[in-house]
Structure 1
C-alpha cells in the first residue's frame, strides 16, 4: 500500500449531494491536505437502476464551488487513469469477477443457488417461530449452495444456466478485533455476521466487493466515511484478510442530526424549517421539482465549509472562524466526536454573517450590484442612475453590520433607492402626532438651507434647531426617520440624509406631511 496518504470520497450519482455527503468529502479533503496526500473522487454507479442524469456533474460542481476540488477522479490525467483505472465503477465492472473467483479459489466464498422465493420462505418460517433468518455458518450447509452440493452438482447447475450469487463465507467462532480512528477498539463475534452477497446473478458486484477491490487498487490508505457504514466494517476487514491485502485505516463520522437532535437530517427537515440541505440548487430531471441550495440562498462557500467542519469536530479551542487553510492546519480525525452532530440553522446564518463582515465593501458592492441588476432594475423599480458604484459602496458601508446575506442589503436599505410609498401603520400612529406636520415642515426648511451636506454638519445644525425650539428629540427624530424610510429601521438618520441628498430628503419629508397629515 502507498505510504502517501490517499483518501477517497465515493458518492453514488442517485440525486443531489446532501450536506452529510459534503461533510464527508470535506473531512477527507482536510485530512489529505493536512498530510500532503491525495483526495480522490470515485463515482460508485454500479446500480444503474438508481442512476440519475446530471447527478455526477452536480457532485463535481458542488466540490468546485466549495473550493475542495479532487486531485484524481473522472477526467483525471491519462497517466493517473493508466495507473489506477477509471474513477467510475461502471467502467471498472470487468475487474470484479476475477476477485470474486479468487475468493472462491481460496475458500473464502461460495456459490449460492437459492431463489428469492426460497429465501423468503425461510424467513417466514423463522418469523413464525419468533426467530430471525440469517444466512451464515449455522444453516449454510443445509441450503442450496456449493458448500452443501458436490462439485459435479455445482458445475451442472452453472452449465445449465441456473442463476447464482457468490456469497462471502464468514468465519465461525472468532472474535474479530476492529480499530477505528474515531471510535477506538471494537470486538465483533463473527457468529453474528451473515454471509453477504459479493457478486450478483446479473454479473455485477455488490458494493462490498467493488468497494474493497477499488480501494485496494487505488492504494487508499484511510477510509473516512459516514457511520452508516460501521455495521459493514467487520465484513470489509475480513475481505482484506481474505485477499491477504493490507487494510486501510478506518474512521466513521457521526451522523448529522435534525435541529431537534433526534434522527438523521433530511431534505424534509429543510423544507419544513426553511433551510437548504444541498450545496447547490437541484432540479429533479424526472419531476422538475427544484430543491434549494446554499449557493442560491446567498451563503458564501467559505462560510458553508466553516460551519460543516464544526458539525462533529472542533479544534478544542474557543476559535470558531477558520479559513480553509486554517482548517487544514487544525484538523485532526482524533478530535471528531462519536456522538451525532445537531444541525443548527441559526448557527449557519451566524457563520454567513461573520464572513460577510470580513469581506471588503468593494467586494460586497460588486455582489450587491449584481443582485440589484438581476432583481430590481430589470423590473423598473430602481432608476438606473442610482445603480452607481460609489453610491452603493456608501450604502453597503452603512448597513453591512446588520446583514447576514447580500440579499439582506435590499431589505435593510431599499429606501436608499426607492422613496417610501407607504408608512408603517403602527409607527405612524405612535410617532405622527398633532403638531408633527408643522415640525416636519420646519425641519425640511432647515435642511434645505444647509450648504455643507456632510452627515456630522447636518446633525449639528438640526439638533441645534431642536434645542432652540425646545422640542425634545423624541418629537422630531422618530417621525423624521419614518418620513425618510417608511418604517422605524435603517442606520443613523443623518447618514441617510447625507447619502440620499438635500432634494430627495425634502421631497420625502413633504410627501410624508401630505400622506400622514
Structure 2
C-alpha cells in the first residue's frame, strides 16, 4: 500500500486564524492516523503580499498546537528553477503554447462575450491546431504560456467531502501557467509541488474546488494520476460570515496568549467539521486513533466562543497539575510578577492549580485566581463592610488566634473554623466569607480550609489582623 503523504500549503499573506489552521489539522491528523508523512509548504509566489512575519506566525502557531511536520517548510520561491524546467519539458511536448494576446485584447474579448450573454473565457486564438494558421507574432510582445486543456469529455473525481464532481472540459479554457516574464502561476506550481512531493491526499478548503479540474488535467498531462481530494466547507464566524481577519478573526497565536491549552484548541477545531460519533471531548491521541476522511462534515462549521470555552474548561480539568503550574508561571512572568522560590520549584503551585482549575477555561484565568498567593489583595470595601460586622469580628480574631498554633494542614484548619463557629454560635458563611475577603480578596473560592492551607501561615495571620 502506498504511504500516505499529505500537505498544508498556506500563503503567507496575512496572519493565520482558526479557519486556516483547520486545513493543517486534518491533513496532519490523517497522516498521523495512517503512519504517513505530513509536509509543510509555503506558497509565497505572491511576492508583494507575502511576508516573513506571516511565515513566522504560521510556523509558531503550528508548533504551539503540536502539528509537527515531517518535511519542509518548502518555499515555492526557492523552487522556481524546477517549475521552469517542467515548463520547458511541456513546451517541447506541445502541452503548452505561447499566447501573444494582449490584456487589452483579452478585455475586449470578455466584453463581447458578456454582451452576447456568453461565459467570458479565452477563445483559443493562439492555440496551435493541425491545419490552423496562427496570427502573425506581434513585435516586442512577450507571450504568456497557456496549457492546452483537453477538449471534449470531462474531469471527474470522487471528493471525500462533496462526493462525485464532474466538470466538462469545454467549461475550462486554456489556463495561463507562466506570465510574460516567465514566472509560473499558482495553479501550475501547486501541480508540480504535489507531483514532486508525492502527495496522495489533498485536504484543503472548498475555495479550491474550482482549481481542482485544472490541476487534475495538468497532472494527467504530466503522466501522473491525481491524489484523493477532500474539500472542506468554510469555517464561519459567529455572525455566519466566512471567518477572516476583516470579520474579526484572531491569529492562532492569540489563543495561546489568552491562555487556552493547545489540546483544547485541537479538540475544538477537529469538531468544527469532523466527528467521531457523539464524542465532544477527546485527547490528541484519540483524535489520531479515530481520524479518517469518511466522517468529514458536508456543511460549514460555525465558530462559537461559548462552545470553545466549554471545551477549554474540560481540558483544564483533565490537564496535569504540573503542566498547568508551568503555564501559570509563564503567565506571571509575562505580567512581571515575581514568584517566590517555593512556588517556582516545589509541588505547591501544582497543588494550587489542582484546587482552582475546575473554575477556569484558560491559564490566564487560573493565574488570576492564584494571584492571591503571590501578591497583595484588597477586597471591595463595601462588600467587606457588609460581611465583616461587629457580630463576627470577634470570631475572626479568635480564629486568627487559633490558627497561630494549629498544624498547618486542611483538616486542622477546618477544625479551628468549626471550633470558632461553635464558640460564637455562628454558621459557616458568617465566618468563611469575611475570612475569604480578608485573605483572598474575594467572597467566592473553593473550600476555605483547602485554600488557606496553601498559604504561608504568616500571610494568613497578617491579612486576618486587618480586622
Contact conserved, 2:65 with 2:266, CA < 8 A, in 1?
Answer: yes
**How far off its partner does 1:298 sit?**
2.2
The residue correspondences of 1:451-466 to structure 2 (distance < 5 A) are 451-466=406-421
Name 2:251's counterpart in structure 1: 277
Q: 1:100 to 1:496 in 2, by over 3 A?
A: closer
After superposition, the CA RMSD in angstroms is 3.1
Structure 1 residue 228, shift from structure 2 partner: 0.8
Equivalent in 245, 250, 263 of residue 267 of structure 1: 245
Partner of 2:17: 18
CA contact (8 A) 2:113 2:120 kept: no
- Cα distance 1:229–1:437, how it changes in 2: closer, same or farther (>3 A)? same
1:247 matched to 2:203:
no
Q: What corresponds to 1:300 in structure 2?
A: 261
Which runs of structure 2 are paired with 1:84-163 in the superposition (5 Å)? 87-97=74-84, 99-100=86-87, 103=90, 109-127=96-114, 129=115, 131=117, 134-136=120-122, 139-141=123-125, 153-154=135-136, 156-157=137-138, 160-163=139-142
**Counterpart check, 1:407 vs 2:393:** no
Map Cα deviations across residues 65-112 of structure 1 (whole Å, 9 max, x no partner). 3333222224xxxxxxxxxxxx33223223334544555566654432
State the TM-score, normalizing by the size of structure 2. 0.88
Residues of 2 paired with 1:246 and 1:386: CA distance? Answer: 59
Unaligned runs of 5+ in 1: 75-86, 281-292
TM-score normalised by the chain length of structure 1:
0.80
Alpha-carbon separation, structure 2, partners of 1:478 and 1:134: 74
1:333/1:444 Cα in 2 relative to 1: closer, same or farther (>3 Å)? same
Q: 1:386 to 1:68 in 2, by over 3 A?
A: closer
SS of the residue 1:231 aligns to = helix
Residue deviations 1:254-302 (CA, integer Å, cap 9, x gap)? 2111123x1211234446xxxx332x3xxxxxxxxxxxx3333323333
* Residue 38, structure 1, aligned to residue 25, structure 2: no
CA distance in structure 2 between the partners assigned to 1:244 and 1:200 by the alignment: 24
Number of equivalent positions:
467
Cα distance in 2 for partners of 1:470, 1:270 equals 56
In structure 2, the CA distance between the partners of 1:206 and 1:444, relative to structure 1 (3 Å rule), is same
In structure 2, do the counterparts of structure 1 residues 258 and 434 end up closer, same or farther at CA, with 3 Å as the change threshold? same
Task: Tell me how far 1:331 sits from its aligned partner.
Answer: 0.8
Q: Deviations over 1:320-353 (max 9, x none)?
A: 2122x32222111111112111122233333333
CA contact (8 A) 1:182 1:338 kept: yes
Answering whether residue 204 of structure 2 is matched by residue 225 of structure 1, we say yes
- Where does residue 292 of structure 2 map in the other structure? 332
Whether the 8 Å contact between 1:174 and 1:190 is mirrored in structure 2 is yes
Q: 1:391 to 1:92 in 2, by over 3 A?
A: closer
Superposed CA deviations along residues 446-469 of structure 1, whole A, max 9, x for unmatched, are 444x43333222322332332343
After TM superposition, list the pairs within 5 Å mapping 1:253-402 onto structure 2.
253-260=232-239, 262-270=240-248, 276-278=250-252, 280=253, 293-318=254-279, 320-323=281-284, 325-378=285-338, 389-402=346-359
Of 182, 199, 210, the residue aligned with 2:189 is 210
The equivalent residue for 2:161 is: 182
Q: CA deviation at 1:394?
A: 3.5
Q: Check the 8 A contact 2:4/2:37 in 1, yes or no.
A: yes
Give 3-state SS (helix, strand or coil) of 2:255's partner: coil
Aligned mates of 1:97, 1:387 — CA distance in 2: 57
1:121-169 alpha-carbon deviations (Å, 9 max, x no partner): 3334555x37365224xx434xx66569966745x44xx3312212234
| Cα contact 2:160–2:228 (8 A) shared by 1 | yes
Aligned to 1:416: 373
Aligned-partner Cα distance in 1 for 2:43–2:368: 44
1:83 equivalent in structure 2: none
1:437 to 385, 393, 403: 393
